[in-house]
Structure 1
Amino acid sequence: MTFSVVNRLIDAINAHDLDALAETFADGFASEWPAHPNRSFDGSEHVRKNWGMIFAQFPGIHITVTGSVESDDEFWGEFHYLRPGASDMRGVILIKVLDDKIVQSRFYMEEVEAGTVPHPMPGVSSGQNRSDSAHG
């Protein structure tokens, strides 16, 4: 059941159907951004307001889930937000569902970097691939 709610959400976003999108959220919905606490908010009306602005700013936005795990009332998904004219966003969203509505989400989303930037860990090259770093 959790995956079907998430599928309805993604379908509504990709169709830019604000009413269908808002229908997937419970009135007492809580959005948490652990790495960016100032982005956190409560309430389904805030979801509608935010997505109305997103649709206006990114009329070509399209979302896919590139990997996921579902257990009981939670969906853990790796999301890719394609935003034509802006940086893509990628990351993980943990979604909790109760009574066929989304009641909570925890976002770990970031903009995809353009170009090469220094790796934040000393001694690790940004251009190093996994097999190189795994073998020393």
Structure 2
Amino acid sequence: MDASSGVDRLPDGPVRRMVAAANRHDLEGMVAEFADDYENVTPIHPARGFRGADQVRRNWATLFAGLPDLALTVHDATTAPDGTVWMEWSNRGTRSDGSVISSAGVAILAIRDDRIAAARFYLEPVERESGDVNAAVRTTVTGTADARVGP
């Protein structure tokens, strides 16, 4: 296992195997860890939810092709008493134009019959230009993105 990617933070099982396969860009190995009827729920972007391992395959085939150096890092993980895996993770990759994309968030993964059966998926692009916490609060309250205004 590649400890630098944080895979060792995950319990033995399908989530650990999936992350390791993703970091090898092993599409078939990765998709094999998902149940055929896998359900992805994306609460922050409800229209992005989907069902089925075939969509997992399409998503990751596109990611691997478009981000040839894509790497996942697990920052922390825990397993709930019911076997659900909570994973804080991030990814980073370089687009064909040379720009770097990175995302970070949490995935809550339900396991059934040694496969990933469902996920609540919270992953967002890392944004470094949006201002400090004062700007974020002001934007939330006023709907404006004036980073110059503080408390």
Which residue in the other structure is 1:107 paired with?
Answer: 121
Q: TM-score if structure 2 supplies the norm length?
A: 0.76
Which residue in the other structure is 1:58 paired with?
Answer: 67
Aligned residue among 125, 138, 141 for 1:122:
138
Distance in structure 1 (CA, Å) of the matches to 2:30 and 2:64: 12
Alignment check: 8 A CA contact 1:32 1:40 kept: yes
1:73 equivalent to 2:83? Answer: yes
Moved more, 29-38 or 107-116: 107-116
Q: TM-score if structure 1 supplies the norm length?
A: 0.84
Distance in structure 2 (CA, Å) of the matches to 1:2 and 1:34: 25
Give per-residue Cα distances to partners, 1:84-134, cap 9 Å, x unaligned.
3332100011011111000001111110013342532139xx8xxxxxxxx
Q: Give identity over the alignment, percent.
A: 31
Moved more, 109-118 or 9-18: 109-118
Which residue in the other structure is 1:5 paired with?
Answer: 14
Distance in structure 2 (CA, Å) of the matches to 1:117 and 1:57: 29
Gaps of 5+ in 1: 127-136
What count of residue pairs does the alignment treat as equivalent? Answer: 124
